[in-house]
Structure 1
Amino acid sequence: MKKRHFPLLTGLAMLCFAPAAGRAQEFKEQIKKEFAVPNPAAEVLAIYNLNGSVRVEGYSGDKVLVDIDKRISADDSDGLALGKHEFQLGYDQHGDSIIIYIAEPFDTRPHEWGRDEDWRQRDHNYDFNLDFVVRVPFGMNLHVSTVNHGDMLVQDVTGNLSVHNVNGPIAIRNAKGATTARTINGNLTVNYVSAPNGPSDYYTLNGKLEVTYPANLSAICQYKSMNGGFYTDFDNAEPLPVSVIKNETHRSSGTVYKLNITKRVQIGSGGNLFKFETMNGNIYVKKQS
């Protein structure tokens, strides 16, 4: 593959969650849910997982079909009994949204997450893991996330995508919609059957970032990395002038200015802005063969 290399510059902060230790006793349950979707292109499925994988696949139906492998583990029978009693999932369907989340012992929805300090501070005696396999109508929009012990996979979904992980990789296949995909520790790979129909954002702190677009792509690519390079095999990629943004902060000792340097490449005649960022890994913008 013919590659073009462009220099990079950035700085990032690191976030890490430690995985939980293995447990001696275990309870398993398979959960199935079904939701009617009268207008998939206008609706959003949100999944807020914490421990475990999430796999979402598009199909030609008009329902969201959810399979969850639930596992609770503990050191002893008392801890396992507490986990079986306390742990609960939540399911909301209202307006244009279907939301699946952990409801107890704390709420994993973003606007509720910071309210459950009691769980973080007390000595809880069990762990839990949820592995999702979900089928959705092709055109549905997604907002799906997990944190530990799982991969994220989205395929054959043509709506807009928001896909998040922390300690694991993300793979998106056969997409079309505008995309936000972010992980901390893992590779991020995306493949499109047509160029995204809106601005898109791709980020991994520690991992390779690889996005494949159709050969007729026209876009502006903005990129940052500290310990990696930017590579593309698009012959019509041309570097644009460096953009410097000055941020001003007032302190008691005086005014501090921070300069953020942004590097950009135009592919074809330009168009939507696609942002790529990593710290420890290369960025690859590839052309479908």
Structure 2
Amino acid sequence: MKKLIIPILSGVVLSCTNAPAQDLKFTETIKKEFVVSPSSVLAVYNIDGFIKVEGYDGNKVLIEVEKTISGKSNEIVEEGKQEFKLEFEQKADSLIAYIIEPFDSRPNRNRDRWNKNEYRKIQYRYNLNYTIKVPKSMNLVVSTINNGDISVVDVSGFMKVNNINGKITVKNAHKANEIRTINGDVNINYTTVPPDNAQYYTLNGNLNIVYPTNFSADCEFKTFQGDFYTDFEDVEKLPARVTKTISETDKGTTHKLSKGSIIRIGSGGKNLKFETFNGNIYIKKS
């Protein structure tokens, strides 16, 4: 396997810790099924626990959730049982599973409440472990934060997968186009060439991506303490590309320039982005 050493950009290390395990627990299993269009989107916004998704030849989304409420006393556990609420919301083109109480787990739903310091400290803890079956062509948006990995098997649709403290594994992917975690490895194998502008990121971990033997793309790499390896033979290093990012804040407009190394595999064409801080990048052929 070839090794190409890539100069890299620095970043900020983010680490999350978990409170000790509690003594008293209440556990129940929730089962749901929904008839969906094969091309619709399933979104799962978890906080604590794993997510496992498997594609199958059917027209239903089958969801099984193992819910655990824990605390230091029976009173605290009972409070959690009464207050905690998991919501399932279905529309014509989407199905969403999220926490609605004690706060909304959907992205950007609680920013104003955090800014106004309107959150009280809850004493109980909760954990949701999802096991899901979906139509193979379904699109996915799934995320979790603590105490769980994310795995997706045999799903050919587009997917956005986010984790914080756990790894991500995608098997037999077709259109996996945005895969990100902070503390963990990213492991993906594609059965077809991925879509243009697919992105892969981990802060503390390795990127392990397997492509078909006919893979051809321009791959932009950024890493700080790591190397790039590939067993593809037709590899060419291209001139670095400078990109400009513009963001608006309450202090004004910020312009940021970033520079990554570009490796052309095969005849190029599609643009893919790979980034890690503490870890290596492995691009392999199946």
Query: Does the alignment pair 1:239 with 2:237?
Result: yes
Alignment match, 1:85: 82
Instruction: Tell me if the contact between 2:6 and 2:221 (Cα under 8 Å) persists in the aligned partners.
Output: no
1:50 aligns with one of 39, 47, 50: 47
Deviations 1:6-44 (A, max 9, x none): 32211112222221221111000000000101x312x10
Alignment match, 1:141: 139
RMSD: 2.0
Letter in 2 for 1:268: G
1:143, distance to aligned residue in structure 2 (A):
0.2
Instruction: Tell me if the contact between 1:177 and 1:198 (Cα under 8 Å) persists in the aligned partners.
Output: no
Deviations 1:122-176 (A, max 9, x none): 3311000000000000000000000000000011000001011000110011000
Letter in 1 for 2:84: F
Q: Equivalent residue of 1:81, what SS?
A: helix
Alignment match, 1:275: 273
1:259, distance to aligned residue in structure 2 (A):
5.0
TM-score by length of 2: 0.92
Q: Cα gap change, 1:139/1:248 in structure 2, threshold over 3 Å: closer, same or farther?
A: closer
Query: Does the alignment pair 1:226 with 2:246?
Result: no
Deviations 1:215-265 (A, max 9, x none): 00011100000000111111011111112347799xxxxxx9965222101
Alignment match, 1:35: 34
1:112 aligns with one of 96, 109, 114: 109
Percent identical among aligned pairs is: 44
Alignment match, 1:15: 14
* Distance in 2 between residues matched to 1:286 and 1:211, nearest whole Å: 6
* Distance in 2 between residues matched to 1:247 and 1:176, nearest whole Å: 28
1:119, distance to aligned residue in structure 2 (A):
8.7
1:207 aligns with one of 205, 208, 217: 205
Deviations 1:178-209 (A, max 9, x none): 41000000111110011113320000000011
Q: Equivalent residue of 1:125, what SS?
A: coil
Q: Cα gap change, 1:239/1:90 in structure 2, threshold over 3 Å: closer, same or farther?
A: same
Q: Cα gap change, 1:122/1:226 in structure 2, threshold over 3 Å: closer, same or farther?
A: same
Instruction: Tell me if the contact between 2:113 and 2:119 (Cα under 8 Å) persists in the aligned partners.
Output: no
1:115, distance to aligned residue in structure 2 (A):
4.1
Runs of 4+ in 1 over 6 A off after TM superposition: 246-249
Q: Cα gap change, 1:247/1:193 in structure 2, threshold over 3 Å: closer, same or farther?
A: closer
- Stretches of structure 2 that go unaligned for 5 or more consecutive residues are 248-253
Query: Does the alignment pair 1:187 with 2:176?
Result: no
Q: Cα gap change, 1:32/1:46 in structure 2, threshold over 3 Å: closer, same or farther?
A: same
TM-score by length of 1: 0.92
Letter in 2 for 1:188: V
Instruction: Tell me if the contact between 2:141 and 2:161 (Cα under 8 Å) persists in the aligned partners.
Output: yes
- Stretches of structure 1 that go unaligned for 5 or more consecutive residues are 250-255
- Correspondence list, 1:244-259, <5 A: 244-245=242-243, 259=257
Alignment match, 2:283: 285
How many residue pairs get aligned? The number is: 279
Q: Cα gap change, 1:247/1:213 in structure 2, threshold over 3 Å: closer, same or farther?
A: closer
1:286, distance to aligned residue in structure 2 (A):
0.6
Q: Equivalent residue of 2:66, what SS?
A: strand
Q: Equivalent residue of 1:83, what SS?
A: helix
Q: Cα gap change, 1:136/1:81 in structure 2, threshold over 3 Å: closer, same or farther?
A: same
